[in-house]
Amino acid sequence: MTAIVRRIPARTLTVFEPFYRPFDLLEEVEAMAREVFDGEKPFFRTSLDVYEEKDELVVKAELPGVKKKDLDISLEDDMLNIKAEKKEEGVTEDATYYISERHFGEYLRTIPLPFHVDAEKISATFKKGLLEIRLPKSEEAETKRIEIKTK
């Protein structure tokens, strides 16, 4: 299958428009990086919230299209690691794309924790593409694999 690269055509600037749009520029840089590293597994982006609630840290990550079996969460010292893989759906060879904006590939995020957490009391749920991890405060750091429950 041929790679689809989105190009933004040059346009005339008006007095009120900036010379560049940061998000368009970021998309262009990412597209160029994909071209250079063709053959590497692409990363997909996701939204993430990290906040403190009572005596625990809550991490919420939107991972639409990811299956529970393709998720791996681990805690090492004061770092939370979230790994996921969103597999590309099979498309017939004769398909013609007109728009392709969905992201597939691997996701890896390492989140530094603002305080030590109790590894034995960590809970993780995954429902309708939303991963929620609750990390209660503790005095000492530990290493532990975290089990994900389906609601």
The reported pTM is 0.62
Highest mean pLDDT among 33-42, 79-88, 119-128: 119-128
Q: CA nearest 63: which of 42, 80, 86?
A: 86
N-terminal to C-terminal alpha carbon distance within the chain: 37
> Is the pLDDT score of 74 beyond 80?
yes
Once rounded to an integer, what is the mean pLDDT over residues 25-37? 67
CA distances for 6 relative to 24, 32, 94, 129, angstroms:
11, 10, 20, 27
pLDDT of residue 82: 92
pLDDT recorded at residue 36: 58
Q: What is the mean pLDDT of residues 24-35?
A: 68
| pLDDT score for 57 | 95
In terms of average pLDDT, the best of 3-7, 47-51, 98-102 is 47-51
| pLDDT above 50 (res 140) | yes
Token digits of residue 12: 């005339």
Percent of the chain with pLDDT over 70: 70
Winning range, highest mean pLDDT, from 42-51, 68-77, 100-109: 68-77
Among 140, 137, 132, 133, residue whose Cα is nearest residue 56: 137
How high is the mean pLDDT of the chain? 78
Residue type, 70: D
Instruction: Give pLDDT, residue 40.
Output: 47
Q: What is the pLDDT of residue 2?
A: 61
Domains of the chain by range and CATH? 42-88+101-150 (2.60.40.790)
pLDDT for residue 32? 67
